[in-house]
Every structure is written in C-alpha cells, then in structure tokens.
Structure 1
Amino acid sequence: MSAIALDPGQMSARLDLEMRSDVGDGQGGIVQGFITVASLWARIEPVAMAEEERADEAVFTVTHRIWIRFRADLEAGMRFRKGGRIFTVRAFYDPDETRRYVVCRCVEEGR
C-alpha cells in the first residue's frame, strides 16, 4: 500500500478533541459531560447530508471525514468541537497504515 500524499496545509480547522466524563448527580444517576483532551489541527470533509423530522422539528445530520495526525488514544464516542459545532466520532482508521494520519468518520447533528 502506498503512502497517502496529504498537504498538511489542508489541515486548517482548529478542533478540540473531547472524551466522555460522566459525573454523579447525587441521587444515584449520572450527568453526561465531556472534557477536552487536546486541541489539534484537522481537515474536515463533508460527505453526505440527511434531513428528518423529529417532534415536529426538522433535524439535519451531516456525515464528515475528519483527518488528523495519528493518535493512539482515539475511541468511538469521542467527539470534536469547533465552536458550537459538535462532530461525534463513529469510526476511525489509518488510511495507509503508516501511523501518520487518522481519518475519523463523524456525524454532526443540528437544527
């Protein structure tokens, strides 16, 4: 397999990588939260968009490929944040198995 030729200058989006960090609510339940693991540069590629109606409200879902430098600590369920936008990581892979880049398949939901 040949190495991917990616211009690092295409990684122009500054994202925060967040992982889930649940906290007890004091009554036996949990409150879902996230903490920032790292800030990094990424390349965001929109792939597809779908729209549906939930509770009389239009909701759109956009899938993205997000390219970042290789990280060994990624997990499905982590997310990227860019301002108010949230990209949830569904899957990820090393496109040329050289441990230089990781491509994350992400979903962004919005109203």
Structure 2
Amino acid sequence: MTRAGDLDRPMRLERPDRIEASDGEAEIVFTDMGAVFVALAPASLAQRQVLERVDGVASHSATLRAGSGIAGGWRLVEGARVFRVLAVDDAPRRSGYVTCLVEEEGR
C-alpha cells in the first residue's frame, strides 16, 4: 500500500501533443503539465533477449497521486532522465494513487 511519504521523487509530468503543419508533416512535442511526486522502483523482468540483443521492456514502476490524467505515451522527467509511460494501472484509484509501467529512455 502506498503512503504519501513514499512519493519522494519530484518529477515533471509531460503530455504528448501532435502538431501538424499545413504541408502535412507532423511531429510530437511534449507539454509540461507540472510537477508531481513519484515513488519510483525498478521493475522485475525489465529486459528480454530479442534476436541476440537485449531489448528494454519496462525498466521501472512509478506510483503517483491519481487525478493527473496520465496515460500511455506521457513522460516523467527527472533532470536528464526521461521515463516513457508504457501502461497505467488506475485500478487502485480509489486509494488515491495510480501505478505506471515506465521505460527509461536511452537505457
């Protein structure tokens, strides 16, 4: 069970936005949605062997307060470290928290 004191890492929450130009080109930019406090823990089975190379799956689990609207594709940023949200489990939302599986970029 998560307690407020477990949320000990200040991170920035970023939402992906698709920007389309008049010529049909599109890009994804990330909008800063503000600071959140997160409990970050290594995920078990964080990698797998694919075609003789190690491929990342989920490197960490992140727990934060419910109500941020976080979804797959969003990012959690801590300094130079960026964690891409792969999945969100909001089943424990009644407790006031959501848990995300995240992958650290560049890892």
Q: TM-score range by the shorter chain?
A: 0.7 to 0.9
Q: Is 1:28 the counterpart of 2:28 in the alignment?
A: no
Q: Give the secondary-structure state (helix, strand or coil) at the position aligned to 1:96.
A: helix
RMSD over aligned Cα, in angstroms?
2.5
Q: Deviations over 1:86-110 (max 9, x none)?
A: 1111111135341510001111132
Identity of aligned residues (%): 24
CA shift, 1:30, in A, is: 1.6
Q: Is 1:106 the counterpart of 2:105 in the alignment?
A: no
Whether contact under 8 Å (1:80, 1:89) holds in the other structure is yes
1:78 to 74, 78, 89: 74
CA shift, 1:80, in A, is: 0.7
CA shift, 1:59, in A, is: 7.7
Whether contact under 8 Å (1:60, 1:109) holds in the other structure is no
Q: Which has the higher helix share?
A: 2
CA–CA distance in structure 2, aligned partners of residues 50 and 20 of structure 1? 25
Structure whose CA Rg is larger = 1
Normalised TM-score (structure 2): 0.76
CA–CA distance in structure 1, aligned partners of residues 21 and 62 of structure 2? 33
1:50 to 34, 47, 50: 47
State the AA in 2 paired with 1:43.
A
Q: Is 1:9 the counterpart of 2:5 in the alignment?
A: yes
Normalised TM-score (structure 1): 0.74
CA shift, 1:63, in A, is: 1.6
Q: Give the secondary-structure state (helix, strand or coil) at the position aligned to 2:41.
A: strand
Structure 1 unmatched runs, 5+: none
CA–CA distance in structure 1, aligned partners of residues 79 and 49 of structure 2? 24
CA–CA distance in structure 2, aligned partners of residues 30 and 52 of structure 1? 33
Runs of 4 or more, structure 1, over 2 Å off, are 22-28, 48-53, 58-62, 94-97
Structure 2 unmatched runs, 5+: none
1:91 to 82, 87, 90: 87
Q: How many residues align?
A: 103
